[in-house]
Amino acid sequence: MTGFSIDRTEVTRGDYRRCVAARRCSPVADPTSTPADSSLLEDHLPIVNVTWPDAQSYCRYVGGRLPTEAEWEKAARGTDGREYPWGDEVSCERANWGNFDGEGPCAGRNPGHPVAVGQYPDGASPYGVLDLGGNVWEWVADRYDDDAAAIAPGVSSRRGGAARERPGRGNTRPGNAERRVVKGGSCCSFFVGPRAANRNAWSPDHRDADLGFRCAADR
């Protein structure tokens, strides 16, 4: 089995701009910033409005790849199969989720738009990985399949997370048409809580103001 590492946070706008400047990534339109955003803060917001190929290009630029669905979910659930990255109880204080246009279970407590990465340290997974329970949906490598891939046995995090067990890679199986899996929910998801098992599927050319990604790498 081959181990893997995964980014501690979602890829930021500042990260992605460096890839564009190196001519390794295609420019994307930034959504309108919130009034409270400063230019410094904006660099730390998650990059959004990226397609699946855009995400792949960035991960190749930094020497990595998109995580498989199994790897992503393993990073969120740990070895105890927890419901949420932080445990088994839903919480508005541990992740940016649950508010859209002032409605939802976290309205009045969470902002209803993506925020700078790493703002919810109490929502860290067992491996120290942040923002797996909201902020933005995240592309993963897998084509969509009604049956989620088997969970890999271990994970470590990059950019400051502590190493843990060495995992096997998950399956990347053909699925329904060419849709790709997204994981984690977002700032504006409120019909269900930010469960580690959350999954959705969109066309690889889909763009959205609450859709980003993080990268993984083989170890």
pTM: 0.85
What mean pLDDT do residues 209-219 have? 96
209 φ/ψ angles, rounded to the nearest 5 degrees: -75, -5
Average pLDDT, the chain: 85
> What stretch of H or E contains 200?
strand 199-202
Whether 39 has a pLDDT exceeding 90, the answer reads: no
Whether 170 has a pLDDT exceeding 80, the answer reads: no
Q: What is the pLDDT of residues 2-27, one digit of tens each?
A: 689 999 999 999 999 999 999 999 99
What mean pLDDT do residues 34-42 have? 54
Q: Which domains does the chain have, with CATH numbers?
A: 1-219 (3.90.1580.10)
pLDDT of residue 63: 97
Q: Is 14 helix (H, G, I), strand (E, B) or coil?
A: helix
Judge contact between 142 and 181, C-beta under 8 A: yes
46 φ/ψ angles, rounded to the nearest 5 degrees: -65, 140
Strands 137-143 and 211-213: parallel
Encode burial over 169-187: b for 16+ CB neighbours within 10 A, e otherwise.
bbbbeebeeebbbbbbbbb
